Structure 1
Amino acid sequence: MYCFRLPFTMPRTARLDFAAAELLIHEEGEQRIWLKSSEKKGQPLRDAASCVVRGEGYAARDEAALEGERWRDVISRSLARMHLAADFGDQDPMSSSTTTAEPVFSEHFGRHVMEGVAGVTVFQDQPDLLLITAGDVLGCVRPSEEKCRSVFLHAVQLHEPLKVAERLAFDLYSGSFFQTSAAARLLMLTMAVETLLDLQPRSTAAQAHVTAMIKDTEANADLTHAERTSLLGSLNWLHNESIGQAGRRLARSLEPRKYGGRKPADFFTRCYEVRSALTHGYVPRPDNREVNSLAGSLESFVADLLAGGLLTETPD
Structure 2
Amino acid sequence: MTFHFRMRFTLPIDHRIEHLGAELTLWSSQDESCRVWLKADGPIKDATELAVYGGPYEEESGAESAGREWRGRIERAFVVIGLPADFGDRRRSTGSFGPTLRTAITQQTGRPLVMNDYGLITFNSSPWPLFGSSTADATIGKPGPKVTDAISSAVAGASGLDQKQSLAYSLFSTAEFQHSPDARFLLYTTAIEALSSRGPRSDVARQHIEQLIERTKHNRALAPRERESICSSLSGLQVESISQAGRKLASSLGQRKYMGQDPVTFFTHCYKLRSKLTHGSNPPLADIQETLPAIRRFVLDLLAVIR
Point out the more displaced range, 222-231 or 106-115: 106-115
Q: What whole-Å deviation, never above 9, does each CA across 1:104-160 have from its counterpart, x for those lacking one?
A: 9937984565542222134556656341275xx111111345644554444444445
Matched, 1:132 2:133: yes
Give the 4+ runs in structure 1 shifted more than 6 A.
Answer: none
Three-state SS of the structure 2 residue aligned to 1:67 is helix
Contact 1:14 1:84 in 2 (8 A): no
Task: Look up the match of 2:10.
Answer: 9
Q: CA deviation at 1:178?
A: 2.8
Cα contact 2:36–2:55 (8 A) shared by 1: no
- 1:213 deviates by 1.6
* Residues 139/233 of structure 1: CA separation in 2 closer, same or farther (3 Å cut): same
**Deviations 1:158-216 (CA, angstroms, capped at 9, x unpaired):** 44532221111112221222334433333332222112112223234323322322232
Structure 1 equivalent of residue 184 of structure 2: 185
Q: Counterpart of 2:88?
A: 90
The equivalent of 1:162 in structure 2 is 161
Equivalent residues, number: 298
**Aligned residue number for residue 302 of structure 1:** 299
1:54 aligns with 2:53: yes
In structure 2, list runs of 5 or more residues that go unmatched.
Answer: 107-111
Aligned counterparts of 1:176 and 1:191: Cα–Cα separation in 2 = 10
| Partner Cα separation in structure 2 for residue 79 and residue 260 of structure 1 | 40
Amino acid paired to 2:297: S
TM-score, reference length from structure 1 = 0.74
CA distance in 2, matches of 1:124, 1:130: 13
After superposition, give the CA deviation of every residue in 1:263-282 in whole Å (9 maximum; x if it has no partner): 433332343334344444x2
Secondary structure at the residue paired with 2:72?
helix
1:247 Cα deviation from its structure 2 partner: 0.6
* Equivalent residue runs for 1:106-117 within 5 Å: 106=101, 110=105, 114-117=114-117
Look up the equivalent residue of 1:76 and give its one-letter code.
E
Find the aligned partners of 2:300 and 2:101 in 1 and give their Cα distance: 38
Aligned to 1:313: none
The CA distance in 2 between the partners of 1:4 and 1:267, in whole Å, is 42
For residues 105 and 152 of structure 1, the distance between their equivalents in structure 2, rounded to whole angstroms, comes to 50
TM-score (norm 2): 0.76
Q: State the one-letter code of the partner of 2:68.
A: E
Q: Which residue of 2 aligns with 1:120?
A: 120
- Equivalent-residue separation in structure 1 for 2:41 and 2:85 (angstroms): 15
Contact 1:186 1:291 survives alignment (8 Å): yes
Aligned twin of 1:246 = 245
Contact 1:91 1:288 (C-alpha < 8 Å) held by counterparts: no
Looking at structure 2, the residues matched to 4 and 257 of structure 1 have their Cα atoms a distance apart, in angstroms, of 49
> In 1, distance between residues paired with 2:260 and 2:97?
28
Could you tell me how far apart the structure 1 residues matched to 2:68 and 2:297 are?
35
Give 1:35 shift.
2.1
> Does the C-alpha gap of structure 1 residues 93 and 257 become closer, same or farther in structure 2, counting only changes over 3 Å?
farther
Q: What is the alpha-carbon root mean square deviation over aligned residues? A: 3.8
**1:93 and 1:257 mapped to 2: Cα distance?**
30
Alpha-carbon distance between aligned partners in 2 of 1:130 and 1:71, rounded to the nearest angstrom = 21
In structure 1, C-alpha distance between the alignment counterparts of 2:229 and 2:165, rounded to whole Å: 31
> Match of 1:23, as an amino acid?
T
What CA distance in whole angstroms lies between the structure 1 residues aligned with 2:57 and 2:21?
29
1:197 alignment counterpart:
196
Shift in Å at residue 238 of structure 1?
A: 1.8
Once the two structures are TM-superposed, the CA of residue 225 in structure 1 deviates from its matched residue by: 3.4
Give the whole-Å Cα distance in 2 for the aligned partners of 1:18 and 1:203.
Answer: 65
Give the partner amino acid of 2:132. L
Instruction: Report the Cα distance in structure 2 between the residues aligned to 1:291 and 1:272, rounded to whole angstroms.
Output: 12
